[in-house]
Amino acid sequence: MTPDPIRVLLVEDNPGDARLIREVLSEGVGIRFDITQVPTLEDATGHLAADGRFDLILLDLSLPDARGWDTIRRAREAAPDIPIVVLSGLDDEELALQAVQAGIQDYLVKGQIEGSVLTRILRHAIERHRLSRELWERTRQLEEGERRFRALVENSSDALALVDGKGKILYARSILRVLGYGDEEYVEMDNFALVHPEDVESAQALLAKSLESPGTPIGFENRARHKDGSWRHIEGVAVNRLDDPAVGAIIANFRDVTDRKRLEDQFRQAQRLEAVGRLAGGISHDFNNLLCVIISYGELLMEALPPESPHREGIGEILKAADRAAGLTRQLLAFGRKQVLEPRVVDLNVRIGDLQKMLSRVLGEDIEVVTTLAPDLGRIRVDPGQLEQVIMNLTVNARDAMAEGGTLTIETHNVVLEAIHPQEGFPIRPGRYVMLRIQDSGTGIGPETRSHIFEPFFTTKEVGKGTGLGLATVYGIVKQNGGYIWLQSEPGQGAAFEVCFPWLDLSVEGAESAPGTVVTRISTETILLVEDEASVRGLVRKTLEASGYVVLEARDPQDGLLKAQAHQGPIDLMITDVIMPVMSGRTLADRLAHLRPTMKVLYISGYSDDVIAQHGVLETGIHFLQKPFSPELLRRKVREVLDGPGDGKA
C-alpha cells in the first residue's frame, strides 16, 4: 500500500525559490509530498483556518506582509500544533536560536542543503514534533490526573489517613472537615488516643484483623474525639497495604455519620410516635360520633328546659365533660399531627385569660405567674386549638427549666418587625405583628443547645423523660400560621420565647360571627341527609326538622341515590358523611352532580385530616364540618352553605 503523502504548506513569495524547493523535495526517496504554496503569511493563515490538516509548514522569513522574527511569531500563533521549518536566505545564528526557542522545529539556510538531506530533515522534524506532542500530552494527562486526584481527596467529605501497623498516623487529608484537625496536626498522632475509651478495644481488634488480612477491606464504626472536645460517630473502611512498597501503610477512609446516627434514633422514635398517631386517628371517628350524639342531645335538652329547671346543672356538667373529651380527642390528633384546622379570629389576651387557671395547675404552687397584657392588642387568625398548644408547650418547657420554682412572665405586645430581625439576623416579612412573650427565671440555655432547640426530637432530657416534639410542634404551628419564633437565653439567666403572629386587619377581614350566636331562622329548604351512623343521623334530622327544613333521610350512599332519584321536587343541600361503606360521600356527590346540578353539598366526618384529604374533601371551596358538632353549629353551617355563593357543585 502506498503511504499517504506528507501535506506541506509552503509560505514563499519568490516563484524561483518555490520551484526549487518543489524540485528538491521531489528527489526524496520513498516519501511523497503534497505541497500547497502561498505567497503571504495572510494567505497561509487563511488556508490554516479553512483546512488545518497540514503535516508541516515551510516558512520563508521575508514575506510581503511579515519579516524576520515577526514572521516566526505570527506563524507560531496561527499554527500552534503543526511543526514549522524555516527556510531562510539569512544565515543568522541568533535568529535561528530564537526560532528554536519559540518552538520552531528547524532553521535551514537556502542553498546549503541537498534534496535528500532536506527530505530527511523534514521527516525527522515531523517525527520530533509528534514525539514532543505525545510527551507533552502524556505529561499533561499525568498532571491533570494528579490535579483530579488531589481535588478528589482534598474536597471529599470523607477523610483519608495512612496508618502504620501500630496505629500511628503517617499521612492525612480532609481530616479538618471530619474531626477539626489540620492535616499536619493529625500526622504523628496515635490513632487510638482519638478513639472514645469505650471503643478502643474494638478499634484495636480491627487493627489486628486488618494485619491478618492484607488487601481485604474491613468496615469499622466508632466514636472519635473532635478538636472541639465533642465525640463524633465515624464510619469507614480500612485496607491493609503494608506489603505494597508504593503505600506501605493501612489505608483508612472514613466519614462523620453523627447526624445520620441521630436521624436513625429519631426515626425509631418517630415510628413509635407514628403508631400512637395511627391509633389516635383510628379511634377518632367512632369517638367523635359518640361525642357528637352526647353533645348534640345534651344541648337539645338544655334548649328545651326552662331556665329554672333543676336538671340544667346536671346537663351542663355532662356537656362540660363531653367538651373535655372532645378536647382530649383534638390533643390526640394533634399529637399525631392529623387534626383538621379551623382558623378563626382570636383575641390573644382573652385566650390567655381562659387558660390561666389551667396554667397554674400545670406549673404548680412554687412558680408564680405574672401576666402583662397590652390593652389595645390586635387580633390574629389562628386555629384556637393550635394556639392553646403553643402556649401550653412553651409553659411546660418553662416549668421544666425551673425545677426549684421561680417566676413565669407572660406578655403580649403589638410590634412592627423590620425586614431583618436585629438579633437573629434572619429575613422577616416586614409589617405589624402581635407578639406573645413567655419568659422564665430558670437555668437558661447555652448556645450549642439553642442552635438545635427547634429541631424535631431534639431534647436535653433523659431518655424516656421527653419526646423532643414540644418546641418542634410550636415552631411548625407558628410557621404554618405565617409567624416567627425566636429564643433569647443565656446559661443561668432564664429563657424568653417570643412568638409573633401577623396582625389581622379586621377592616379587611371582617368580623366573624360570635360563637354564642344561635340561628333562629325558620327555613323551608329540602335537605338530603346521608349518614351510616344511626344515632348521628337521627340527631341531625331532628335538629334540622326543628328549624323547618324538609329532611330526606338515607342510611347509606345507595339509599341516598334512590332517595335523590325518587324525590320529585328540588333538593337544595345534601349533608353526607365522608367515609361510608361501598361509596364515599365525595363519590356520591359526583354521581348526583348530573341529576341534581344545583344541589349544594356539606361534608361531615369524625376522621382525621389525612383520611379526609384522601377523598378530596379538604380542597378549597369544599364545605366541611368536623365532628363532634353542636346543634347550634350545625344550624349555622347549613345556613352558611345555603346562603353562600356557588354553583351547587362544591
Confidence tier at 413 by pLDDT (50, 70, 90): very high
Nearest Cα neighbor of 389 from 365, 414, 358 is 358
Rounded Cα distance, 67 and 497, in Å: 82
Strands 84-88, 66-67: parallel, antiparallel or unpaired by DSSP? unpaired
pLDDT exceeding 70 applies to what percent of the chain?
Answer: 74
pLDDT at residue 514 in the model: 38
pLDDT in tens, 302-360: 888 888 888 888 888 888 888 777 766 665 555 444 555 567 899 999 999 888 888 88
C-beta of residue 161 within 8 angstroms of C-beta of residue 171: yes
Average pLDDT over residues 350-372: 86
pLDDT of 644 over the 70 cut: yes
Nearest Cα neighbor of 372 from 406, 408, 412, 407 is 412
pLDDT of 456 over the 60 cut: no
pLDDT at residue 518 in the model: 40
pLDDT of 609 over the 70 cut: no
What's at 627, amino acid-wise? K
Rounded Cα distance, 478 and 433, in Å: 12
Angle between helices 384-401 and 348-363 (to 10 degrees): 40
pLDDT at residue 348 in the model: 93
pLDDT at residue 515 in the model: 41
DSSP helix/strand/coil, 51: coil
pLDDT of 425 over the 50 cut: no
Confidence tier at 130 by pLDDT (50, 70, 90): low
Rounded Cα distance, 571 and 566, in Å: 11
pLDDT in tens, 250-306: 888 888 888 788 767 656 655 654 565 566 566 666 777 788 788 888 888 888 888
pLDDT of 132 over the 60 cut: no
pLDDT at residue 513 in the model: 40
Cα separations (Å) of 227 from 174, 178, 630? 14, 10, 63
pLDDT in tens, 563-584: 999 999 999 999 998 888 888 8
pLDDT at residue 135 in the model: 61
Omega prior to 214 cis, within 30 of 0: no
Rounded Cα distance, 62 and 131, in Å: 30
CB-count burial class (<10 Å; 0-12, 13-18, 19+) for 399 = buried
> Minimum mean pLDDT among 150-154, 336-340, 448-452: which range?
336-340
Whether pTM > 0.75 for this model: the answer is: no
Classify the phi-psi angles of 422: left when phi > 0, otherwise alpha if psi is within -120 to 50, otherwise beta: alpha
> Minimum mean pLDDT among 170-184, 311-325, 485-499, 623-637: which range?
170-184
pLDDT at residue 266 in the model: 55
